[in-house]
Amino acid sequence: MNKVEFQDWGRVPYQEAWDRQTKLHQSVIARKLENRKKEKEGLPTETQQHYLLFCEHPPVYTLGKSGSLDHLLLNEQQLEEAGFEFFKINRGGDITYHGPGQVVGYPIFDLDCFFTDVHKYVRYLEEAVMRMLSDYGIESYREDGFTGVWLKPKGHLPKRKICAIGVHLSRWVTMHGFALNVNPSLDHFSNIVPCGIKDDDKEVSSMAKELGQYLNIEEVKERLKVHFADLFEFDYA
């Protein structure tokens, strides 16, 4: 069974987290390539590394490779005045927001040790979040044509996105991941077209908004950790 090292980085600036994540990602790829070389030479190999990283960011907007800059509704001066950072990054997807009150998860898994199917991987990320939400009595679903985790219309409320997902893979090693809205300021999503979705029947929500109370984010993390281990069938190192 695979072993995964869990790290909780707490609140960390986006650039620092990206740099640290990239360093780990490169180390996993390097070990993978070294193991392949050793296999060809008939030498013993090292156990592959895998990481599950949780963190929280100061307010920041990130734009994926397929995103449009038009979906950022603030100019550079407005961003600075409001205290937001902005980064163009190498994940898939459009623009999203990260900030206090979210659980941002960065799995760095060598999928050669799990399964080499990127669509299945994204579905598993969604499923881990959906199972955790179910623990809190929140019913979620997948919206056809969109990634992430959604809540069905209820009363006067439209479809609501509660978790955004954007990933990047190199040599089947993953990086980036998901951003789950636990207790964030939803007002900060008004400065963007979230995930590039302009539909009037869709908006953004959070666990706190749905349940009418702030949640213990550490408990949410623990539930996520359990479901990740169950779904991907690994133990924590």
Cβ(183)–Cβ(84) below 8 Å: no
CA gap 183, 206 in Å, rounded: 6
Query: Which residues are identified as catalytic?
Result: 195
Q: Going by DSSP bridges, is the β-strand pair 159-170/149-151 parallel, antiparallel, or unpaired?
A: antiparallel
Q: How many domains does the chain have?
A: 1
Q: What is the CATH number of the domain that holds 78?
A: 3.30.930.10
The model's pTM: 0.93
End-to-end CA distance of the chain: 11
CA distances for 196 relative to 53, 74, 113, 123, angstroms:
26, 15, 33, 20
Tell me how long the chain is: 237
Helix or strand run (H / E) with residue 186? none
Which residue range is the domain that position 44 belongs to?
2-236
Cβ within 8 Å of residue 125, ≥6 positions away: 105, 107, 165, 167, 177, 178
Digits of tens for pLDDT over the chain (237 positions)? 999 999 999 999 999 999 999 999 999 999 999 999 999 999 999 999 999 999 999 999 988 887 787 888 887 788 888 888 888 888 877 888 999 999 999 999 999 999 999 999 999 999 999 999 999 999 999 999 899 999 999 888 899 999 999 999 999 999 999 999 999 999 888 887 766 666 678 899 999 999 999 999 999 999 999 999 999 999 999
d(CA 83, CA 91): 23
Phi-psi region of 225 (alpha: psi -120 to 50; beta: other; left: phi over 0): alpha
